[in-house]
Amino acid sequence: MDRRTFLAALAAPLAASCEFADGRPRPATGRLLGPDMALGHRLLVDPAPAPTETLRVPVVIIGGGIGGLSAAWQLARDDVSDFRLFEMEAESGGNARSGENEVSAFPWGAHYLPLPTREGRSIRELLSDLGVLSGSIDAEMPVYEERHLVHVPQERLYISGLWQEGLLPRIGVAQRDFEQYRRFEDMVQRYKAARDRTGRKPFALPIRMSGIDAAAHALDATSMRDWLLAQGFDSPFLHWYADYACRDDYGTRAADTSAWAGLHYYACRDGQAANADSHSVLTWPEGNGWIVKRLSEWLQAHGAAPVQTRALCTRLSTTRTGAELDIFLAAEQRSIRVRAEQVLWAAPAFVLARVWENPPPGLREAAARVDYVPWLVANLTLDARPDDLGPAGLAWDNVLYESNALGYVVATHQAIRVKPGATVITWYRPLTDGSPREARMRLANTDWKTWVDEIVAELARPHPALPGLLKRIDIWRWAHAMPRPVPGFLRRPLSALLAGLDRPLAFAHSDLGGLSLFEEAHDAGVRAAQRVRRMRR
Ligand SMILES: Cc1cc2nc3c(=O)[nH]c(=O)nc-3n(C[C@H](O)[C@H](O)[C@H](O)COP(=O)(O)OP(=O)(O)OC[C@H]3O[C@@H](n4cnc5c(N)ncnc54)[C@H](O)[C@@H]3O)c2cc1C
């Protein structure tokens, strides 16, 4: 596909009204959206115009996702205010962006935060600053504001034509499957309780706090699916559950996910709350977009310069004492040159490898070996809540057993004020069929109508009346959503290279640990900011 066709495919217009194949009316409208790929494409083909101005800024942050915003938060907390943050999109948030319409706010990507673990002290500090956690951040069982804890019912599963509570399949499941569930749960509990000689957990969050030893590398050498089989787990329901978890957290099938990463999903999360059970999560109508908004307001209130949006870093060069960056300002169609003492790089590693003129040896090759999986997210605006089959009523998270997608979350589940009857549901699907490259081509080549047909056909199985309730479907395409933690990811040379970067550049994006999670992004941002602070003393 040539560039013109590629860009034309990305700039999909407002879709027109028509019918589904079976004659039912299609929702009146909807849009195919996504990150500004035409702007991002500049890094590949269009040279940016020569800079017309040079600025001196002591500290520069590139990327306004959770990593970049967390770095800014930590700098501001440490009384460092002479920094500027440049973000290529029209809004900050990265994978945690959100949208809003007349019915509700809704997520475009990240939608929840599990209760922070003991290692996640900095996240508890952030949540305290944002008014989500009240009382002591060091309490064994912190208190979280009720309205931010997920309301019941939290989750349900559609299986064998019925909805059941919880995601572990129970309908049509035999005694030997239940026995395997119990044995698996026992193993997870043992992993949770285990400590090495230095007191480290085998699976901690952030993962840099895990005790990575020979046993961890042995787990990492195999896939989650093969590990289950090697342990004698052959229950198709348990395999579905593990596969769902790998797709949910990593956008990767269990057969392609490192067993260490697969087990990490279950064994790392041991956060507690005084006023919720340990499986509870923090969530908002707009998902983690709520954190992005509140964090941006906090930064403004603490004297940080506003995030400069539609500002794409197109070139970086470094010396031992400083860095020079070219930033293309899309709104003005011109570039500026920025001279900085220190740079916090909070954009993905593959972008760094592309723009850095003099990277350390091996960085480009190491970055090229990491695959990013694409995701599709659809927001469906409905005139009324979808109808139900079975005893378990509409939950926050609603998952379908037989599906390549992950189901949907309900934006209005947490809402205090909502237009009566109407709702927005957010449907998620990582594109796990074929290679990430092939999936990206499918993402670019598939039109709104084709996606809508697939999504509505799937959701009409549990909700036969849903097509008649649809007002609009807006679809977001994430081309490089998250790196795949394939077997061997713990030994990736990229992580070691990024962790070892020295002045003037610190890496502050979730790619650092290789797991695309809020906790990893926040930790990378905060640690990079602390390093900058130390160097300035
Ligand atoms: C669909 C989806 C659902 C998810 N759900 C969850 C969830 O529920 N919970 C969870 O914990 N995690 C979830 N995640 C993972 C999510 O990626 C992380 O939680 C986190 O938001 C990653 O933050 P980050 O700052 O590391 O990266 P990013 O979000 O990738 O932010 C990087 C930023 O850098 C900007 N940028 C890139 N290149 C340049 C450049 N050259 N110049 C300037 N700016 C640039 C980008 O526009 C972006 O804003 C989800 C991810 C996706 C895609």
pLDDT at 536: 76
pLDDT at 25: 58
CA–CA distances in Å: residue 449 to residues 1, 33, 272, 365: 21, 13, 44, 38
Ligand 1 atom, smallest distance to 89 CA: 47
Higher pLDDT pick, 2 / 264? 264
Ligand 1 site-directed mutation target among 313, 507, 516, 519, most atoms within 8 Å of CB: 516
Ligand 1 site-directed mutation target among 95, 316, 429, 523, most atoms within 8 Å of CB: 95
Cis peptide before 153 (omega within 30 of 0): yes
Lowest-pLDDT choice from 15-29, 66-80, 267-281: 15-29
Cα distance between residue 420 and residue 321, in whole Å: 59
Say yes or no to pLDDT of 11 above 50: no
Say yes or no to pLDDT of 6 above 90: no
- Distance spanning both ends of the chain, measured CA to CA: 52
Which residues, judged by CB distance below 6 Å to any ligand atom, belong to the binding site of ligand 1?
62-68, 86-89, 94-96, 109-112, 312-313, 346-348, 351, 375, 377, 428, 478, 481-482, 509-510, 516-518, 521
Per-residue pLDDT of 263-299, as tens digits, reads 999 999 999 999 999 999 999 999 999 999 999 999 9
pLDDT at 535: 83
Ligand 1 atom, smallest distance to 375 CA: 1
Give distance in angstroms: CA of 459 to centre of ligand 1.
27
Per-residue pLDDT of 428-472, as tens digits, reads 999 999 999 999 999 999 999 999 999 999 999 999 989 989 999
The helix/strand/coil state of 122 is: helix
Under the banding of pLDDT at 50, 70 and 90, the label for residue 528 is very high
Per-residue three-class SS string for 325-384: EEEEECCCCEEEEEEEEEEEECCCHHHHHHHECCCCCCHHHHHHCCCEEEEEEEEEEECC
Under the banding of pLDDT at 50, 70 and 90, the label for residue 37 is confident
Ligand 1 atom, smallest distance to 481 CA: 53
Ordered structural domains, the chain, with CATH: 3-35+101-110+372-483 (3.90.660), 40-98+285-370+486-536 (3.50.50.60)
Cα distance between residue 16 and residue 448, in whole Å: 10
Higher pLDDT pick, 28 / 198? 198
Closest Cα to atom 20 of ligand 1: 518
The count of other CB atoms within 10 Å of the CB of residue 343 is 30
Under the banding of pLDDT at 50, 70 and 90, the label for residue 8 is very low
